[in-house]
Amino acid sequence: MRVFSLLVMSLLLAAVFSACGDPGPGLYEVVEVKDGGRLRVVAVYNATPRPVPRQLAANINAAHCRGKVFSEEVVVDSRSGGIRDVVVRLEGIRSGKAPAAELVVTNRDCAFHPHVSAGMAGSLMKAANEDPLTHSTHPYYGDRSFFNYQFSSPGEIYPGRKMVEPGLITVKCDVHNWMRAFVVVHDSPYIGVTDSSGILLIEDIPPGEYRYISWHEKLGESRGSVKISLRSESELQLKLGPGK
């Protein structure tokens, strides 16, 4: 009877994943991508006035930190209007290029670098320190503590922990309360973060039409679809701003 119940439960779960268009976690396969395409994302701030860097009051370890720490919630290029730190991921890709083995979040000048990262479940999240200060790199999966590593001198490296599931990781420092970083974890390596010009290139994409989701810590999410053609570059224009 117990075996029968387990079988029924397995079939129900399979039906749920099928109905959602998701075959479930852990099914990504690394294969050679022949004739893959490329997606160029351009994220632009679509409002006025454009935000400007705002210096934060770094009142802990002020001799080292003061004057170096600025708000990174919305960073916009003054010339192009491009938005840094917009994460774009493609949904439903179950085979393709190999993911990066790891990502590193570094304590530098009383801030986390990079402010926003993206990676695939199964990759390592590592941490490092370049400051002559005590720092605590303390990431959370939602409300769950992921790890908490305390640094005391420059040059130290935390060897990492595997990111086990898709989701949003928020990184905090228990010593310096203004320090924040974010890591978006996806179920495939087809994810990335816009640079300081608001540009992101995602390479070696199997041809097809895919749903995309963009995420920004203050400007929220947007969704749509993109078509990727053989050996071609597609472009996705994102116009984001307050209330968009």
Return the domain boundaries, the chain.
Answer: 31-240
Residue 13 pLDDT: 35
- How many alpha carbons fall within 13 Å on the CB side of residue 100? 18
Average pLDDT of 209-213?
Answer: 98
**pLDDT, tens digit, for every residue of 97-111?**
999 999 999 999 999
Class of domain 31-240: mainly beta
Q: Strand 102-108 and strand 124-129: pairing?
A: parallel
Q: Which two tokens stand for residue 140?
A: 């959370």
For the whole model, what pTM was predicted?
0.88
Q: Can you tell me the distance from the alpha carbon of 183 to that of 236, in angstroms, rounded to the nearest whole number?
A: 22
- Among 1-5, 65-69, 135-139, 196-200, the range scoring the smallest mean pLDDT is 1-5
Question: What percent of the chain has a predicted confidence (pLDDT) above 90?
Answer: 87
Residue 244 pLDDT: 56
Task: Indicate if the pLDDT at residue 15 is higher than 60.
Answer: no
214: left (phi over 0), alpha (psi -120 to 50) or beta: beta
C-beta separation of 54 from 182 below 8 A: no
**pLDDT, tens digit, for every residue of 131-148?**
999 999 999 999 999 999
